[in-house]
Amino acid sequence: MPETIRDARRRFEIPDDVTYLNCAYMSPQLRAATEAGQRAMAAKASPWEIGVDAFFEPGERYRALAARLLSCEAGDVALVPSVSYGMATAVANIPLGPGRGVLMLAEQFPSNVYPWMAATRQAGAPAVFVARPDDGDWTGAVLRTLASRDDLAVLALPVVHWTDGSRLDMNLLSDVCRSEALHLVLDVTQSLGAEPLDVRRIGPDFLVAAGYKWLLGPYGLGLMYADPGHHDGRPIEEAWMNRAASDDFAGLVNYRDEYLDGARRFDMGARAQFLALPAAIAALEQIGAWGVDSISHTLSGLTRQVAEVGRELGLRTPDESLRGRHMIGLGLPAGAGPRVVAELAKRRVHVSCRGDRLRVSPHVYNNQEDVNNLRSGLRTALAR
Ligand SMILES: Cc1ncc(COP(=O)(O)O)c(C=O)c1O
């Protein structure tokens, strides 16, 4: 039975007068994660208490929790420090060339752009950016681009656009990838943990998420799914812990060619992450206790109320079918963004501005009162 979300705010340390609607920037930390992190920091004062198991067990626990979130096997998950690291792995394992280019979205987050730009340049492959569609329908825009070209092999995409939460229909696009034999590589940093995702249904080649936003984790530890078809692929570094029998410390002098099973060969170096892992595990456990369906349901109620505020104030508000359930971008008058964000911050209402859109990204600690604070703050800021 999932734990109730209604009183979730008490699990965080958010002062009563702070309206934090900026999870897409960085989540606040759960009390449980802070406590786990503090214990972890203290533990190294006594290394004689730290056994060999401590190098491996927390990582395996994290892998298992990540797999539950993704509906895959633990062995399909690798520990990565960042999206750029995961994307470098994807780039190293998907061949590009003149007739094998990469499709991305305009204004996509750079960690899912720069690795592809470098690789396409080196391989003489096209790098194609889909322009932001006037009607807000990214899926249609991607399909039109695909239909107009025959030199693309990879779709490197998010599930929701990081600037404003606009959504792609990943079921549809993954069907197209399957039928056209295109590779699919996803950055789900801005959706995993906030909306359900079933990698068995989507079937990406690689999928990566940073951990410090919707996964409520600490900075510097994310996760990567690798399709079993890539499990014999090439890691971008040769970490000793990823080789077979690496828990036999005395035997490490006997170099081995074999890796550990599955996606573990792609794990980052120093993946024991004594400081970050306990906090990340506490966060994934809490997300599991609430359940992603319930989180998504709660957040969709909040973003609907935010959309209502946008309409009341005459701001451009995206159609619900074209946006994520958990975050929403309200169109501001051109150039007004930074001033509006600063005015809101003065009232301790925290949101982001990306382009000319006010990005509002709630989580389970938010409530009706927070939406009211946003409404009154926005009304004042827009009247100036
Ligand atoms: C969509 C998206 N991907 C990735 C990141 C972070 O990338 P990295 O882990 O490479 O620092 C962010 C941070 O804002 C993001 O919004």
Instruction: Tell whether ligand 1 has an atom less than 6 A from the beta carbon of residue 116.
Output: no
Ligand 1: nearest atom to the Cα of 210: 9
Could you tell me which residues come within 8 angstroms of residue 144 by beta carbon, excluding any fewer than 6 positions away? none
Instruction: Tell whether ligand 1 has an atom less than 6 A from the beta carbon of residue 84.
Output: yes
Let me know if 342 is exposed, middle or buried by CB neighbors in 10 A (0-12, 13-18, 19+): exposed
Cβ atoms within 10 A of the Cβ of 219, count? Answer: 14
Is this prediction's pTM over 0.75? Answer: yes
Instruction: Tell whether ligand 1 has an atom less than 6 A from the beta carbon of residue 187.
Output: yes
Ligand 1: nearest atom to the Cα of 222: 9
Centroid of ligand 1 to alpha carbon of 323 (angstroms): 19
- Residue nearest (by alpha carbon) to ligand 1 atom 14: 25
**Does residue 105 contact residue 128 with C-beta atoms inside 8 Å?**
no
Q: What pLDDT tens digit does each residue of the chain (384 aa) get?
A: 567 888 899 999 999 999 999 999 999 999 999 999 999 999 999 999 999 999 999 999 999 999 999 999 999 999 999 999 999 999 999 999 999 999 999 999 999 999 999 999 999 999 999 999 999 999 999 999 999 999 999 999 999 999 999 999 999 999 999 999 999 999 999 999 999 999 999 999 999 999 999 999 999 999 999 999 999 999 999 999 999 999 999 999 999 999 999 999 999 999 999 999 999 999 999 999 999 999 999 999 999 999 999 999 999 999 999 999 999 999 999 999 999 999 999 999 999 999 889 999 999 999 999 999 999 999 999 998
Give the burial string for 359-373 (b: 16+ CB within 10 Å, else e). bbbbbbbbbeebbeb
Instruction: Write down all domains in the chain, each with its CATH number in brackets.
Output: 8-30+292-383 (3.90.1150.10), 42-288 (3.40.640.10)
- For 37, the enclosing helix (H) or strand (E) is helix 31-43
Instruction: Tell whether ligand 1 has an atom less than 6 A from the beta carbon of residue 85.
Output: no
Distance between CA 148 and CA 152 in Å, rounded? 10
Three-state helix/strand/coil letters over 60-102:
HHHHHHHHHHHCCCHHHEEEECCHHHHHHHHHHHCCCECCEEE
The pLDDT of residue 1 is 52
Instruction: Tell whether ligand 1 has an atom less than 6 A from the beta carbon of residue 109.
Output: yes
The pLDDT of residue 241 is 98
The pLDDT of residue 147 is 98
Centroid of ligand 1 to alpha carbon of 264 (angstroms): 22
The residue with tokens 């990943």 is 170
Q: What phi and psi values does residue 127 have, to the nearest 5 degrees?
A: -115, 115
